[in-house]
């Protein structure tokens, strides 16, 4: 009876508990052998039984398989399940919730419209964890820190213009809200997609560790480094385009440093191209801060690390590089607010990265139209406009709408999905808009100097105003 569990374990060899079982087995040498044997067997039985249950809970078929359990994959799963479609999430990480990402995100009106369409309970749940933004203060400074002017913008006008207030939330809390919306039996961790094969009306998806699932549709929601994008669109579509800017960010209790008032955003341009300080209320007593500098103006130690990473072909960035705090304190010495934020933040919680995106992709589906991309996998963007998640949630809502519109109705929910037609409609609706937001995010990078010649300045402002209206005013 016990033996029959072992083939199951083999299927799941990526599970960390399996590695523990192996190491326990290897203890059975030497004089202690008899002493440890019985309890060891009992422990193995318990371990293996629990592994068997975990493996058994991973389905072998579903209507829609979603690779990636980030902000997009979970939203898509919620939207599809709301409409009676059997969607399941397959996430590479061993655990779905991974704690702080050091990031606060802005939920604008288009995001609320998408959330409403995904699941009508979501907008209020996000508002509960967020801060309603009432004011944005823009400080225009010289390189020596002297403030030249300050603009104070009333953010409550967003409600009249676009039908929703802006709320800022911590990325990790938004992820938790989405995770709580999708029942956990439909989310499978430790399932890293490795390949897929389409045959006829199904797609077989293989995960590291040997498990596989057969679905009518595979959704690649596997983020900016998407493996599905590589398989759908090829290597050339996966070249990283750096925008030449470095970003440091963290999230910390507002009680530790008062860089903004409740419900407010403070934005400082520092007199040098691409150099800004941003601090905002991220809800639940948290402050989210960002510092940016152009790579060419980066502190010498950072530049050296960038060059090293480029020479070795490795990725620059991550949490908690030793010495980063001192370098940033020097680079932002003229702005007390930046120095205070840095002093209040443990170095291990500062995330640094090179900002980048990829060239626009207009075809998100493979030839069979049974595999489609969404979110950062389809349109990774520079976070200058705070729109990455917003357009990802729009994707989630519209993918679900397109699938339902093309499905036959059965007693337990939509049946006989016309996947290829739905996928074509979805991409036709989404690709152009997302390419526009991606391009605008790249062009209007944080701290881009506005033209000094007045007529040009007005043209630039009017263009930005129009783009922002188009982005925020969109209804899913
Ligand atoms: C500093 C910063 C600030 C930002 N601010 C904002 C903001 O204010 N507003 C906004 O709207 N957006 C913002 N964004 C963008 C936002 O974070 C992303 O656009 C959003 O997370 C995209 O969701 P996603 O599901 O496509 O990708 P992700 O959330 O990255 O999720 C991808 C998931 O796929 C998993 N995965 C990867 N490979 C595989 C595989 N092979 N198999 C299975 N699973 C896999 C990953 O582990 C991950 O869980 C910001 C981003 C950054 C970096």
pLDDT in tens, 315-374: 899 999 999 999 999 999 999 999 999 999 999 999 999 999 999 999 999 999 999 999
- 69 Cα–ligand 1 center, Å: 9
Contact 263, 132 (CB under 8 A): yes
Q: What would the CATH number be for the domain defined by 61-104+171-239+361-472?
A: 3.50.50.60
The answer to whether the CB of 130 is under 6 A from ligand 1 is no
For residue 95, give the DSSP letter: S
pLDDT at 22: 32
pLDDT at 11: 31
* pLDDT tens, residue by residue, 134-170: 999 999 999 999 999 999 999 999 999 999 999 999 9
CB neighbours of 144 closer than 8 A, spacing ≥ 6? 271, 334
d(CA 247, CA 155): 25
Q: Which of 41 and 1 is assigned the larger pLDDT?
A: 41
* pLDDT tens, residue by residue, 103-123: 999 999 999 999 999 999 999
Share of the chain above pLDDT 90, in %: 81
pLDDT reading at 238 higher than 80: yes
- 395 Cα–ligand 1 center, Å: 13
pLDDT at 99: 81
- 254 Cα–ligand 1 center, Å: 25
pLDDT reading at 10 higher than 50: no
| pLDDT tier, 3 (very low <50, low <70, confident <90, very high otherwise) | very low
Pocket test for ligand 1, best of 178, 388, 390 (most atoms within 8 A of CB): 388
Q: Which of 320 and 38 is assigned the larger pLDDT?
A: 320
Per-chain mean pLDDT for the chain: 88
pLDDT at 100: 80
Q: Whose CA is nearest to atom 37 of ligand 1?
A: 222
Q: Whose CA is nearest to atom 35 of ligand 1?
A: 68
The answer to whether the CB of 392 is under 6 A from ligand 1 is yes
pLDDT reading at 414 higher than 90: no
Q: Are strands 264-269 and 276-281 parallel, antiparallel or unpaired?
A: antiparallel
| pLDDT tier, 412 (very low <50, low <70, confident <90, very high otherwise) | low
Q: How many CB atoms lie within 10 A of CB 375?
A: 30
- For the residues 162-179, what does the mean pLDDT come to? 97
- 357 Cα–ligand 1 center, Å: 12
* pLDDT tens, residue by residue, 208-220: 989 999 999 999 9
Contact 164, 99 (CB under 8 A): no
Pocket test for ligand 1, best of 213, 282, 292, 392 (most atoms within 8 A of CB): 392
pLDDT at 330: 96
Give the residue from 328, 295, 345, 305 showing the smallest Cα distance to 447: 295
Residue 374 CA, closest ligand 1 atom number: 26
Residues in a beta bridge with 149:
140
Q: Whose CA is nearest to atom 29 of ligand 1?
A: 70
Residue 41: enclosing H or E segment and its boundaries?
A: helix 33-57
Residue 193: enclosing H or E segment and its boundaries?
A: strand 193-199
Residue 226 CA, closest ligand 1 atom number: 38
The answer to whether the CB of 390 is under 6 A from ligand 1 is yes
- 251 Cα–ligand 1 center, Å: 17
Per domain, the residue ranges of the chain are 3-57, 61-104+171-239+361-472
Residue 351 CA, closest ligand 1 atom number: 1
pLDDT reading at 14 higher than 70: no
- For the residues 195-222, what does the mean pLDDT come to? 96
Pocket test for ligand 1, best of 68, 207, 218, 349 (most atoms within 8 A of CB): 68
pLDDT at 240: 94
Contact 361, 433 (CB under 8 A): no
* pLDDT tens, residue by residue, 252-287: 999 999 999 999 999 999 999 999 999 999 999 999
Give the residue from 70, 36, 50 showing the smallest Cα distance to 395: 70
Q: Whose CA is nearest to atom 30 of ligand 1?
A: 223
Q: Whose CA is nearest to atom 25 of ligand 1?
A: 72
pLDDT at 247: 98
């Amino acid at each position: 009876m016990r033996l029959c569990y072992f083939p199951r374990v083999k299927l799941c060899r990526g599970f960390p508990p399996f590695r523990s079982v192996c190491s326990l087995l290897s203890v059975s040498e030497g004089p202690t052998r008899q002493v440890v044997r019985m309890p060891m067997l009992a422990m193995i039985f318990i371990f293996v039984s629990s592994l068997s249950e975990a493996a058994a809970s991973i389905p072998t078929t579903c209507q829609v398989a979603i690779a990636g359990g980030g902000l997009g994959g979970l939203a898509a799963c919620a939207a599809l399940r709301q409409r009676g479609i059997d969607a399941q999430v397959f996430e590479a990480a061993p655990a779905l919730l991974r704690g702080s990402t050091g990031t606060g995100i802005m939920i604008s009106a288009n995001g609320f419209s998408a959330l409403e369409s995904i699941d009508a309970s979501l907008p209020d749940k996000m508002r509960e964890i967020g801060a309603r933004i009432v004011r944005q203060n823009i400080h225009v400074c010289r390189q020596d820190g002297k403030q030249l002017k300050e603009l104070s913008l009333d953010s409550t006008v967003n409600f009249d213009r676009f039908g929703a207030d802006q709320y800022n939330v911590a990325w990790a809390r938004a992820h938790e809200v989405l995770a709580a919306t999708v029942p956990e039996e439909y989310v499978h961790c430790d399932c890293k997609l490795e390949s897929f094969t389409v045959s006829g009306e199904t797609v077989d998806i293989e995960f590291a560790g040997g498990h596989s699932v057969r679905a009518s549709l595979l959704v690649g929601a596997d983020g900016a480094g998407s493996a599905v994008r590589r398989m759908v669109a090829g290597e050339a579509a996966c070249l990283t385009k750096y925008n030449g800017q470095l970003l440091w960010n963290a999230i910390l209790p507002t009680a530790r440093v008062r860089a903004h008032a409740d419900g407010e955003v403070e934005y400082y341009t520092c007199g040098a191209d691409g150099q800004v300080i941003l601090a905002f209320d991220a809800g639940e007593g948290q402050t989210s801060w960002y510092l940016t500098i152009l790579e060419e103006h980066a502190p010498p130690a950072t530049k050296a690390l960038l060059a090293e990473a480029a020479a070795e072909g490795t990725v620059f960035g991550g949490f908690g590089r030793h010495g980063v705090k001192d370098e940033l304190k020097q680079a932002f010495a003229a702005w007390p607010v930046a120095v205070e934020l840095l002093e209040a933040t443990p170095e291990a919680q500062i995330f640094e990265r090179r900002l980048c995106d990829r060239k626009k992709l207009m075809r998100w589906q493979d030839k069979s139209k049974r595999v489609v991309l969404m979110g950062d996998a389809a349109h990774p963007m520079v976070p200058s406009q705070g729109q990455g998640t917003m357009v990802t949630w729009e994707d989630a809502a519209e993918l679900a709408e397109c699938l339902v519109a093309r499905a036959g109705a059965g007693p337990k929910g939509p049946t006989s999905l016309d996947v290829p037609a739905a996928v074509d409609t979805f991409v036709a609706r989404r690709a152009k808009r997302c390419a526009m937001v991606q391009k605008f995010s790249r062009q209007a990078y944080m701290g881009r100097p506005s033209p000094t010649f007045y007529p040009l300045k007005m043209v630039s402002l009017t263009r930005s105003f129009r783009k922002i209206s188009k982005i925020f005013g969109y209804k899913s």
